[in-house]
Structure 1
Amino acid sequence: MQQIWRHQFVSLLANLKVAIALLLLIALFSISGTVIEQGQTLDFYKENYPEHPALFGFLSFKVILAIGLNHVYGSWWFLTLLILFGSSLTACTFNRQLPILKASKRWFYYTKPQSFAKLPLATEISNGNLQQLADCLKARNYHVFQEGDRLYGRKGLIGRVGPIIVHASMLLILIGSIWGSLTGFIAQEMVPSGNTFQVNNITEAGIWSASRVPKDWSVRVNRFWIDYTPKGNIDQFYSDLSVLDRDGHEVDRQTIHVNKPLKYKGVTFYQANWDIAAVRFTLNNSPILQLPVRKLESTTGGRQVWGTWIPTKPDLSAGITLITPDLQGTFLIYDEAGNLLTTLRTNGQMEVNGITLTLKEAIGSTGLQIKADPGIPIVYAGFGLLMAGVIMSYVSHSQVWALQVGDRLYLGGKTNRAQVSFESELIDLVTDSNLHLHTDCAIS
């Protein structure tokens, strides 16, 4: 009974309709993982997916969090779908594709002229020569088997291997995806220029990802800067990063920008965002002082600006407000009443409340997205194998049989695709081998 149940379960997995249904479910949830932002905070989902009104009447933040649509690709049900689809591919490979390949490798002869009537393409040739036909088939890259007055030829067996390669490649892609979900992680860090950090702010992590998080090395942001266009728009932003070992020695150094990440020991650092962390200044002849700045919402056009309050008296009873819109070195100075006093550039000075304020620079912060995905090489290998398998699958598997009975040569064949081309090939085969078609016979 158990064996019967197991056989029925395997047959169900190998069913094409089941495989298509699983693939459609995977595609549907993959789309949802693309549309719905992944790995965001609870406040983000409450703000963007409220209960009243719910998106489509039902999709609220509670549904998203309950189902796990906020981390689709690492959820247990999505991994289960991948495993079921992989099991379906495996069952189909062993139940269908491998037997088809095994059957294609077996060959036999037709021993009776009546047998050729079963073939989709067949003809009877008068004064035909079996050896001439064999030589012509070999010239067309057929693998020919001949015994006495019987002949069998085939080519394109690799076309039967192609679907198996496609299945194997898809299994590799699934294995790579699952392995990456279980052992990889995603982190985000916002680091001011000159600071050293270790990866701590992990937003997504697999259950076996702890060993992948760097613990014996760190990264220093030597410098962060932005290139602007002549119109003042951002052209590109850069981070000069150094990888430091446990003792603080530099083991690697690279300048990254968008689409050019830093890769070290399986961890990739992408340039993803930026911010302004602080402003440096002096009061009279004081040492360089540093105050953090805060991102503010501009009253014009929603543009982001950064600001801070700088005291100009020791008892903090007076001060000025500093606003800067970017890292180009422009600072707007306002008094306590909100009136614009002046505009300064980097290293610019002004007199306020009896002191000399010198603005040195704004300190930028680089926003880094950090990923470790050990499954990527497996996925890439799977896609490479998939392309090879698809190309192989387009090769037609063609078979030809022939039987010599006196001066009559019976010829027939079949193919799994490109039927018209195969028929033309048989006609050319008869012509090239100097065989003569019987007057009342034709390939049919």
Structure 2
Amino acid sequence: MASDAAQIFRSGQRLLALLGDLRLAIGLLLLIALASALGTALPQNEPAGAYHDHYDAQPWLGLLTAGPILALQLDHVYSSGWFLALLALLAASLTTCSIRRQWPALRSGLQWMDHQHPHQLSKYSIGITREAGPQSLQHLAQLLRRRGWKVQQKTGRLAARQGVIAGRSGPLLVHVGLIVLMTGAAWGALGGQRLERFLAPGRSLDLVDRQGETRLSIRLQDFSVDRDARGQARQFHSQLLFSSPALATARHVDVSVNHPARMGGVTVYQADWRVAALTVQLGRSPQLQFPLQPLPSLGEQVWGLALPTRPDGSHPVLLTVASEQGPVLVYDGNGEKMGALRVDGPPLDVDGLPVRITHVLPASGLLIKRDPGVPLVYTGFAVALLGGGLSVLASRKLWAVADQGKLHVAGISNRDVVGFGEALPRLLDSLAEEAH
């Protein structure tokens, strides 16, 4: 039984050693980076039919059709089981490394080491011996304190350190920050919500909680498209009105591409746009608004509707539009172009019926996301960034022993060893100048 327990203990030790290995962490980081690249290159969270439409006829990179993409969960990389497993394994690796290496290193760095004899300093690569007076050790302690060193002085010897806490805590903070960041990312992937909606100006979208009560109301006040000289869309702007029981007054916010709005734990992105409806006047009829449907067979951003020109619904014509500015193209039942209509321009005679376009209604495509892990992600990123900054700081230790009219000084540094080796003689030179 004792041998079995010893075998289990040794196996556990080997497992922990493997889990805390830096090479494993680097390999996991590379895999996560590759997975993130796949998630960026492939459209995410689309209906299954969209992947079949896009990749069955033309495989992605000439390799993957919709079947493998869906089977490998590449349509939702960041919430897939294997991606979350990679994050969990990396978090376990960083935790193990922190407990087994970084934390002991920090504790060791905070402990004062007492060297009582000159021969104990010979093991350090940076060392120097100078002739010294009876007060040289006291003067050295004062000089080091003035330069920001912490000094522990004893009879005939001293120990000093500089930047130990900051320098040694940096790697540990990096690990903690990454673990918090990955926890937030996993929480957001599992507990987050995502909603895509097209809103026309004047329309509202209510977000409700589990009890069915309105948590946040989003109203589109206005929508506009910035276009260049060739008519190509450059930027989309949505003027939104947020209102909720938690807000004393409604809040007006402008949203555009790469400039989202955040309110009550919800982030609203400007994601897309479309032409939602045409307002048409047939002869002397009232102005009628007709919704439009996308026509991918005619183009990526072409919308249209089949409009009957007879009371019995016969003789339809096809109206198409590719911009909120128009024009609206008119095609007969055979697909022949009959003409073009400018917005609020003169009518077009269609088989004896005057057809006029009075308004083109655009709609804003909004992506609404609720990610409960965002505070953890930002906190983890800030902690990791702080740890990275601290990691570049030098952590230095120095010892001095006065013996038989000589001052023996030695030290170590985890950064810029050459610079520290050059600074040590200058430090003793300054000490000699002060003594005179």
Identity %: 35
Q: Which residue of the partner structure matches residue 69 of structure 2?
A: 64
The answer on whether the counterparts of 2:128 and 2:425 sit within 8 Å (CA) in structure 1 is no
- 8 Å CA contact 1:183–1:212 kept in 2: the answer is no
User: How many angstroms apart in 2 are the aligned matches of 1:213 and 1:55?
Assistant: 45
Are 1:332 and 2:367 counterparts?
Answer: no
Alignment partners' CA distance in 2, 1:334 and 1:54: 35
Q: 1:228 to 1:20 in 2, by over 3 A?
A: closer
Q: Give the structure 2 partner of residue 440 of structure 1.
A: none
Which residue does the alignment assign to 1:151?
158
Partner of 2:411: 413
Structure 1 pair 435/239, CA: closer, same or farther in 2 (3 Å)?
A: closer
In structure 2, do the counterparts of structure 1 residues 65 and 5 end up closer, same or farther at CA, with 3 Å as the change threshold?
same
8 Å CA contact retained: 1:199, 1:213 = no
In the TM superposition, what whole-angstrom CA distance separates every residue of 1:306-338 from its partner, at most 9, and x where no partner exists?
A: 333333321233354433231114223345555
CA distance in 2, matches of 1:42, 1:406: 85
Cα distance 1:317–1:178, how it changes in 2: closer, same or farther (>3 A)? closer
- Provide the rounded CA distance (Å) in 2 between the counterparts of 1:224 and 1:215: 24
Q: How far apart, in 2, do the equivalents of 1:337 and 1:171 lie?
A: 63
Instruction: Give the direction of change, closer, same or farther, for the CA distance of 1:131–1:96 in structure 2 (3 Å limit).
Output: same
Partner of 2:199: 191
- Give me the TM-score of the superposition, normalised by structure 1: 0.85
1:370 aligns with 2:378: no
Shift of 1:426: 0.6
Gaps of 5+ in 1: 201-209, 437-444
Structure 1 outlier segments of 4+, above 6 Å: 51-54
- Tell me by how many angstroms 1:376 deviates: 1.8
CA–CA separation in structure 2 for the residues paired with 1:332 and 1:35: 35
* 3-state SS in 2 of match to 1:287: coil
Q: What does 1:34-433 align with in structure 2 at a 5 Å threshold?
A: 34-50=40-56, 59-128=64-133, 129-157=136-164, 158-198=166-206, 215-245=214-244, 251-296=250-295, 304-336=301-333, 338-350=335-347, 351-433=349-431
SS in structure 1 opposite 2:250?
strand
TM-superposed CA distance for 1:190, in Å, is 2.2
Pairing partner for 1:16 from 2, 17, 22: 22
Distance 1:70-1:322 versus aligned 2 partners, 3 A rule: closer
User: How much does 1:345 deviate?
Assistant: 2.2
Determine the C-alpha separation between the residues in 2 that align with 1:75 and 1:134: 59
SS of residue paired to 1:434: helix
Query: Are the structure 2 counterparts of residues 424 and 305 from structure 1 closer, same or farther at C-alpha, using a change threshold of 3 Å?
Result: same
Q: Deviations over 1:114-149 (max 9, x none)?
A: 222211122222234212222222222211111111
> Secondary structure at the residue paired with 2:302?
strand
Distance in 2, Cα, partners of 1:303 & 1:27: 31
Deviation at 1:429, TM superposition (A): 1.0
For residues 409-435 of structure 1, what are the alpha-carbon distances to aligned partners after superposition, in whole Å with 9 as ceiling and x for unaligned?
222111122111111111101100008
SS at the partner of 1:361?
A: strand
Question: What is the aligned partner in structure 2 of residue 33 from structure 1?
Answer: 39
C-alpha distance 95-435 of structure 1, shift in aligned 2 (>3 A): farther
Kindly indicate whether the alpha-carbon contact (under 8 Å) linking 1:396 and 1:416 is maintained by their aligned counterparts in 2: yes
Deviates further, 407-416 or 320-329: 320-329
> Does the aligned pair in 2 maintain the 1:169–1:386 contact within 8 Å?
yes
Partner of 1:442: none
What is the distance in 2 between the residues matched to 1:369 and 1:266?
14
1:166-197 per-position Cα deviation (integer Å, ceiling 9, x unaligned): 11111121111112112112221123333333
How far does residue 226 in structure 1 lie from its aligned partner after superposition?
2.2
Structure 2: tracts of 5 or more residues without a match: none
Decide whether the 8 Å contact of 1:12 with 1:18 is kept in 2. Answer: yes
| Cα distance in 2 for residues equivalent to 1:336 and 1:100 | 80
1:198–1:214 contact (8 Å) kept in structure 2? no
Task: Give the number of aligned pairs.
Answer: 422
Please report how far the alpha carbon of residue 390 of structure 1 lies from its aligned counterpart in structure 2 after TM superposition. Answer: 1.4
- Residues 212 and 119 of structure 1: CA distance in aligned 2, closer, same or farther (over 3 Å): farther
Q: Distance in 2 between matches of 1:174 and 1:229?
A: 41
Given residue 114 of structure 1, which amino acid in structure 2 is its aligned partner?
A: H
Q: Secondary structure at the match of 1:95?
A: helix
Query: What is the CA-CA distance between 1:372 and the residue it aligns to?
Result: 1.4
Structure 1 contact 295–305 (Cα < 8 Å) conserved: yes
